[in-house]
Structure 1
Amino acid sequence: MNSNISSNPSLSANIAEQASSPTLGRSRINSIDMMRGAVMLIMLLDHARERFFFHMQVSDPMDLSSTSWGLFLSRFAAHFCAPVFVFLTGVSAWLYANRSHGEPRSARMFLIKRGLFLIALEILVINFSNLSWMVSYYTLWLQVIWVIGLSMLALAALIKLPRPWMAVLGLAIVFGHNLLTPIGFQPNEWAYSLWTILHDRGYLISEGALRVKVSYPVLPWIGVILLGYVAGPIFSQKSNGNPLEASQRQQTLLKLGISCWGLFAVLRGFNLYGETLPWQAGANFGETLMSVVNLTKYPPSLSFLLVTLGGMFFCLVAFERHFASDGKADGSLARVGHWLSVFGSVPMFFYILHLYVLLLLYTLAKFTFGANHGEFYGVNSIGWVWLIAALLAVGLYYPVKRFSQYKKNSTQAWIKYL
């Protein structure tokens, strides 16, 4: 069974935590944690869907003729996870290197160690949550944790570039990689493996006891993490040596969000560029809207990144303005913000925990009730998936909170990796 931990994400909280300090604006750091926490819960929903609704698979882009509104919205929401985490990993790397107090420090070794750690974790830990224990082989899926690790290594290699050059390179990759879509190689050609890792989703090894599939081609994500690093000063305490007010940051983020969605409206609205599948008018407004935002994720098209990153910029502003406990949030909104920030404070721990909890629950359900959809056990409505995800979010909150507190108080270096 391919659980295709594909919508997911993971983990730059340890970088942001080390970048923060008592003098650093906590509403800003909290807004990043809230953003991470929100997409972690969306990821939980998507992975619950893949465990308990796998008999209703979705393609990339989705087949709108066989996809219900509920299933479409569930999958579309999951599109925001990977872009948010990769971009914020770049932001957090900049914050780590440019502390609000003391001399700047290099983030290169920090990125190298954590990048290699994530790649090893994908191979040795994450993939075992995909296992169907009743078969003699399995597929090694190189997915979001793998691509974040590779992106961190790429950022480490390019970290000495001047920020303007890094911005140009990041924009060139994000805006230009769709031009590479016609390029392809057959498995017996010399460049096939490299191109599969960089741009074309496919199998590195397609036969034998161990198959290896690259689900997340890395090239576009390198562009995203570079742009995240370039955007780091937006989240700094100071700009050019002067205090940076929250209103300035929010205005900048709003402009970025408006620019992303405005450009998407033009490029996608006229089917000019940035997406391999043109949208088509449906029988009603809802069907037409589904077609417009039915975007390619593997690799992420320009349109996909404009929509998701634009939405992230708007959410960061909303979290800072309305959900931060030291901002203008009322009691209920502040509690929601705190709840989200708990999940966002230890994303790696939550990521691993929820995968294995889902595996355990699915195994128990299949053992108890048997396979009711071919070889799979599954629920009959996407509403049940939402309910399962909601109950798991509540149930996992307390162990996540306890571990977050333990991590903050621990002096052990290895614990920061979780």
Structure 2
Amino acid sequence: MTALTVPGSKQRIASIDILRGLVMVIMALDHVRDFFHYGHPAPMNLATTTPILFFTRWITHFCAPTFVFLSGISAYQAGTRRSKNEFRAFLIKRGLWLIIVELLLITLSITADVGYHVFVLEVIWVIACGMILLGLMAGLSSKVIGITGAILIAGHNLLDPQFFNAEVVNNGLLGNLFLTAKGNMHFFAPSRGFLVAYAILPWAGIMMLGYGIGALYRSGYNAVKRRKTLFYLGLAALITFVSLRFINIYGDPRPWLPQSKPVYNILSFLNITKQPPSLLFACITVGTALIFLSFAENIKTRFAAILTTYGSVPLFYFVCHLYILRLGTIMMYFATGHSAKQIDDPNSFPLLFQPVDMGINLGWVYMAWAILVCALYFPCRLYSRYKRTHDQWWLSYL
């Protein structure tokens, strides 16, 4: 690699930006499918899905954990440029800022409800909470924080129903917020509440693990040793995934079962649990990310440069692509002859302008995805250049 990030430097770690850019491009496919696929079929339901629909969703499983994991590495790098107190304050302030972004900007882009009747707590929410937790743990070594993350990842499935079936954990507010994220609605006023889609601690564990791995990227660390360490850690994670999945006892609340068709046996084997992220989910996604990072340091292609552009401005890309998609659904809503009375369809609650009888087939979803990603390239490139050449304080938060 070229020079790593050092105090006062505007340089970035290219391999991390390449991987982050790749998962952001893939992430957009899942969101286009969510917003536009006709009928919104359940892609992971083996009784009704098709292989192409299943893998359209499954490949995007790699996005959130990789993004959270890389946020942990980036947090470690941010700490190398600040004193301990400055680092703690930076992470906590950035975490609080991201919570505001989630509640106001991301929620609006998802629901299109300017009245904010439902706040949606998704991936930005858990990244924010993870940063706050890292800020509180700033006095600990990267090794201790990384081991804490690994324990959270490995031990979280002790809360699976076959081991621990407490109602307060499964459906209670604190249980949903911190441990299970069952997608339940919790109301704080009549017709006003929030939907818990991501649980804090399991995802924070992935960020803490990334923070521990971040020590491999400190200035002066042997690059060959780093690549070998990343590769063997990733390989160990993938072997753990395959081994535990075959044993079929621990690591995921959804065991794999023999199916009537051979290809569906593969789908069942790969049908792991994202919410909350199971041990097997973390093993296959983070393990793959580690192996990718081990090979990505010497990639210097035009495609890698394009991915780096996206990966260098993740929050900008994330917010922009969601608002473009939401605007697209509103335009489609009226273009397809739907009336104002159908804006609030109870079958698609809490989303507005998204009745179940509106949408496009999967082929057009892929086309819309390609158009969206291409359309965002030049705005992302302009903003990335601006960030590299300017030093305003607020750029650290965007």
Q: Deviations over 1:79-123 (max 9, x none)?
A: 111111211111111112225xx9887521111011001001000
* Residue deviations 1:292-322 (CA, integer Å, cap 9, x gap): 110111100000000100111122123223x
Q: 1:78 to 1:89 in 2, by over 3 A?
A: same
In structure 2, what residue type is equivalent to 1:77? I
1:315–1:125 CA distance, 2 compared to 1 (3 A): same
CA-CA distance at 1:355 after TM superposition: 0.6
- Aligned pair 1:130/2:110, yes or no? yes
- Distance in structure 2 (CA, Å) of the matches to 1:313 and 1:119: 28
- Residues 14-72 of structure 1: CA distance to partner in whole angstroms, max 9, x if unpaired? xx9786837x7x6xx1110011101111111111001101622327xx21111112211
Candidates 336, 358, 362, aligned match of 1:377: 358
| Aligned counterpart in structure 2 of residue 46 of structure 1, from 30, 34, 48 | 30
> C-alpha displacement at 1:236, in angstroms?
2.2
Q: Which moved more, 1:384-393 or 1:404-413?
A: 404-413
Aligned residue among 335, 350, 360 for 1:368: 335
Match of 1:354 in 2: 321
Corresponding position: 1:228 with 2:228: no
| Residues 103/137 of structure 1: CA separation in 2 closer, same or farther (3 Å cut) | closer
Q: Decide whether aligned partners of structure 1 residues 185 and 136 sit closer, same or farther in structure 2, where only a CA change above 3 A counts.
A: farther
**CA RMSD for the aligned pairs?**
2.6
- Partner-residue secondary structure (3-state), 2:186: strand
- Show structure 1 runs of 4+ deviating over 4 A: 16-20, 102-106, 183-187, 371-376
How much does 1:132 deviate?
A: 4.2
Equivalent AA in structure 1 for residue 176 of structure 2: T
Query: Partners of 1:159 and 1:355 in 2: how far apart?
Result: 33
Query: Where does structure 2 lack aligned partners over 5 or more consecutive residues?
Result: 343-353
Contact 2:126 2:203 in 1 (8 A): yes
Q: Distance in 1 between matches of 2:329 and 2:6?
A: 36
3-state SS of 1:238 partner: coil
* Alignment match, 1:198: 178
Where does residue 63 of structure 2 map in the other structure? Answer: 81
User: Quick check: 1:136–1:209 contact (8 Å CA) kept in 2?
Assistant: no
* Residue 250 (structure 2) pairs with residue 270 (structure 1): no
Match of 1:319 in 2: 296
Partner of 2:141: 162
* CA 264–58 in structure 1, closer or farther in 2 if over 3 Å, else same: same
| Cα contact 2:73–2:212 (8 A) shared by 1 | yes
2:84 aligned with 1:96, yes or no? no
Match of 1:291 among 262, 268, 282: 268
The structural deviation recorded for 1:136 is 7.0
Q: 1:398 to 1:296 in 2, by over 3 A?
A: same
Q: Distance in 2 between matches of 1:19 and 1:91?
A: 16
- CA 1:256/1:19 → structure 2, altered by over 3 Å: closer, same or farther? farther
2:157 to 157, 178, 190: 178
What is the aligned partner in structure 2 of residue 394 from structure 1?
A: 374
- Distance, in Å, in 1 between the alignment partners of 2:279 and 2:211 is 19
Partners of 1:375 and 1:171 in 2: how far apart? 40
Deviation string, structure 1 residues 152-182 (Cα, Å, up to 9, x no partner): 1111111212344323322211100110233
Change (3 A) 1:167 1:360: closer
Segments of structure 1 that go 5 or more residues without pairing to the other structure are 1-15, 326-333
